[in-house]
Amino acid sequence: MLGMINPETIPELGPETREILDTLTRDLFCLDQARAALEDELARGAEYVRCLLPGKISNSRFRTDWAFIPSAGLGGDLFGYHQLRDGRIAFYMLDVSGHGVQSALYSVTIFETLKGEALRDVDFGDPVSVMRGLNHAFRMEERNSMLFTLWYGVWDEKTRVLSHASAGSPPGILIIRGGAAVELKAEGMVAGAEPEAAYKKLEFQIPRKSRLFLFSDGIYEFMTSSGTMMGLETFIQTMERSAAETPEGESSIGLILSALSEMRGDTRFQDDVSLLEVRFE
């Protein structure tokens, strides 16, 4: 509660002052009720967004784990994976500019477009076709000047080839068992800014027992307890160490978040945070 005023505890006040205090008390009560209702609606909205996130998978082909931490009640991050019509698997990480309800609504719209493969003349098995289609469909001048980044990859289990494209997003990071991290990033402009933006597709053959990490930039753009910026390079090193310390077949998400928390000196991120791990068998 914001606090209540009891005029009866101040007997020397005159009638006019008492009336003002009565009105102020009622207004504060109404304000507190409105705030509680708004927080409840935001919590319901956040729960709806969380329900859209994919179930964690564990099968003979790959396993997944993830963390989703909005900075406010609602944020602009979403990610997913699903099987395409030809049996290949699509993985994607989406980050809409800004925070709050507007960003969340926009990210849900784009997410549902990806999940439902709901763009005409777009081949959702071709990452470049996806980037071009979304870039044309979600133009900033028609969307309240909002932009978004996207990493989109398609994995073929038979060939073990992962084709991928990027629209201004952080790279996907592939950590090969017993080896160093490999950055998977094809050059491409943030989506929504330029209708004729060019995108590029790259391919990488995934070794067995590799770990793919997709993430939003909020997970590494923060000041550490020592007063330095975390940065992408340090974050990649953190993922490498965590993956090396994780028993084979188990998720390293917990170790990564624990290491980041120790570096920050607290448990709260300032930006939306999404982290997806795919463990290829």
Query: What pLDDT score was predicted for residue 74?
Result: 73
Query: What pLDDT score was predicted for residue 272?
Result: 76
Place of tokens 């920050």: 264
Q: Please give the average per-residue pLDDT across 226-231, as a whole number.
A: 86
30 shares its domain with 82: no
Cβ-proximal residues to 217 (8 Å cutoff; 6+ apart), any chain? 95, 149, 170, 271
225 shares its domain with 102: yes
116 shares its domain with 128: yes
Query: What pLDDT score was predicted for residue 1?
Result: 44
Task: Please determine, for residue 3, whether its predicted confidence score (pLDDT) is greater than 60.
Answer: no
35, 52, 69: which is the final residue of a domain?
52
Cβ-proximal residues to 1 (8 Å cutoff; 6+ apart), any chain? 32
**What is the rounded CA–CA span in Å between residue 65 and residue 277?**
5
Question: Residue 101: what are its φ and ψ, rounded to 5°?
Answer: -60, -45
At 197, which CATH number?
Answer: 3.60.40.10
Residue-averaged pLDDT of the chain: 88
Q: How confident is the model at residue 2 (pLDDT cuts 50, 70, 90)?
A: very low
228 shares its domain with 276: yes
Q: Please give the average per-residue pLDDT across 1-8, as a whole number.
A: 51
41 shares its domain with 173: no
154 shares its domain with 257: yes
**What is the rounded CA–CA span in Å between residue 181 and residue 184?**
10
23 shares its domain with 84: no
For 143-190, what is each residue's pLDDT tens digit?
999 999 999 999 999 999 999 999 999 999 999 998 789 999 999 999
Angle at 85 between CA 83 and CA 86, to 5 degrees: 95
Q: Give the whole-number percent of the chain exceeding pLDDT 70.
A: 89
Q: Please give the average per-residue pLDDT across 201-208, as a whole number.
A: 97
Task: Please determine, for residue 11, whether its predicted confidence score (pLDDT) is greater than 80.
Answer: no
52, 70, 87: which is the final residue of a domain?
52
For 54-83, what is each residue's pLDDT tens digit?
999 999 999 999 999 876 667 789 999 999
Count of residues for the chain?
Answer: 281
Q: Which residue range(s) make up the domain with 252?
A: 56-280
Q: How confident is the model at residue 126 (pLDDT cuts 50, 70, 90)?
A: very high
What one-character DSSP code corresponds to residue 134? H
| The token pair that represents 17 in the structure block | 């002052």
124 shares its domain with 193: yes
Helix, strand, coil % over all residues of the chain, rounded to 5: 35, 25, 40
The structural domain count of the chain equals: 2
Per the DSSP assignment, residues forming a β-bridge with 174 are: 182, 212
105 shares its domain with 48: no
Cβ-proximal residues to 270 (8 Å cutoff; 6+ apart), any chain? 71, 218, 222
**What is the rounded CA–CA span in Å between residue 134 and residue 129?**
9
